[in-house]
Amino acid sequence: MKITIIKPGLLSTVQDMGRYRYLSQAVPVSGAMDELAHRLANKAVGNDDHCATIEFTYADASFKAETSILISYSGDGAFLVYQGELMPAEKPLFFSAGSVIKLISNPIGARTYLAVAGGWNVPDVMESKSTYLTAGFGGYKGRALQKADVLVGGPNLNEISNKILKQLVERSLIYPNWCISRNSLLPVKKREIRVVLANEICWFDATSILSFLTNAYTVNLRSNRMGYQLTGKPLVRKVTKELLSTAVTPGTIQVTGSGDLVMLMADCQTTGGYPRIAQVAAVDLPLCAQLKPGDTIEFAEISRDEAEELYLEREHDLLLITKVINLKYTQI
């Protein structure tokens, strides 16, 4: 399975679940910003969650199928359109060679993931296919996709992908009648980000902590895959000593010298020296990944135990989705 990029869009990179084993050498995690959408796109074509997808930022992109392809997409940055028709998300989609597929804007969010049966085949760098642009390694030649780039899926499809493909080809369908419901996995309030208070919480005065948990913050233009700068009421510190740099991770919310908030995202540095006020609950990081400059969010405090429970619950739901799809196709 092969596609050619006709129009790459603002920023399109190959990503997977990230590069976790080299953090001590200051290699960032990288990987899909919206890991949930990445995984659901993979699941919809029968892939393992770790297969590489293409992360598109906003829309205004298009590609051409050079061979027949089995793909799927998930995320809130764009809709896939084929011959003027909107294609459903979180479903396997079959297109014959020569088909041109466009991404048109979805005003809700920022990022969309395109999976192909077997995963996008780029070389592994430090055990991951994720692109890390700053150092120029991973993904497709260590860079963002450009016009005329050719991406190849596979080469080998697993049993489920083969069965999905066979069913669609035999019945001359673009897609089947089932889909994964991403919304059922996400909270209703998509602008309320749950957080666990962080280790340096006592470095801030009580009014500031209250202000952090009650005021709205706006994602400003200086936001990218490394992190988001948030505009809102600046926080005041009561402890002014320096923090010796220590490990940080995507979802860490740091407070800079001027009292502004920075939410670290997928490509963030592995260590940081700003005091941390909170850590975004892992289950709500996908919501953050869909934020655009100008979007406003509020924070809601949960306990460390609740965050872990929510995480385990989400993982069990995701395992269940894979089981259901497998069951559906083993009966064929």
Contact status: 125 vs another protein (CB under 8 A): yes
Q: Yes or no: say if 303 and 194 are a contact pair by the CB < 8 Å rule.
A: no
53: which 2 tokens? 């997808």
Within a 10 A sphere around the Cβ of 123, how many other Cβ atoms? 10
Contact status: 256 vs another protein (CB under 8 A): no
Q: Is 318 helix (H, G, I), strand (E, B) or coil?
A: helix
Distance in Å, CB of 216 to another protein, minimum: 24
Angle 25-30-33 (CA atoms, 0-180°, nearest 5)? 155
Q: Yes or no: say if 78 and 63 are a contact pair by the CB < 8 Å rule.
A: no
Q: Yes or no: say if 66 and 4 are a contact pair by the CB < 8 Å rule.
A: yes
Interatomic CA distance for residues 278 and 102, integer angstroms: 39
Footprint of another protein on residues 94-123 (CB under 8 A)? none
Contact status: 24 vs another protein (CB under 8 A): yes
Q: What is the largest CA-CA distance in the chain?
A: 68
CA atoms within 13 A on the CB side of 214: 6
The one among 308, 313, 320, 330 contacting another protein by CB under 8 A: 308
The one among 84, 177, 188, 244 contacting another protein by CB under 8 A: 244
- Span from 85-93, 169-177, 212-220, 269-277 in contact with another protein (CB under 8 A): 269-277
- Span from 94-102, 114-122, 145-153, 194-202 in contact with another protein (CB under 8 A): 194-202
Looking only at the bridges linking them, the beta strands covering 276-280 and 252-255 are antiparallel
The one among 10, 26, 169, 202 contacting another protein by CB under 8 A: 26
Which CA distances in Å does 237 have to 43, 212, 256, 279, 307?
A: 45, 12, 10, 18, 26
The one among 169, 202, 247, 324 contacting another protein by CB under 8 A: 247
Contact status: 126 vs another protein (CB under 8 A): yes
Distance in Å, CB of 207 to another protein, minimum: 24
Contact status: 313 vs another protein (CB under 8 A): no
- Span from 39-47, 155-163, 229-237, 306-314 in contact with another protein (CB under 8 A): 306-314
Contact status: 305 vs another protein (CB under 8 A): yes
**Contact residues: another protein, CB under 8 A:** 20-28, 125-126, 134-135, 137, 196, 198-199, 244-249, 251-252, 269-271, 279, 281-282, 304-305, 307-308, 311-312, 315
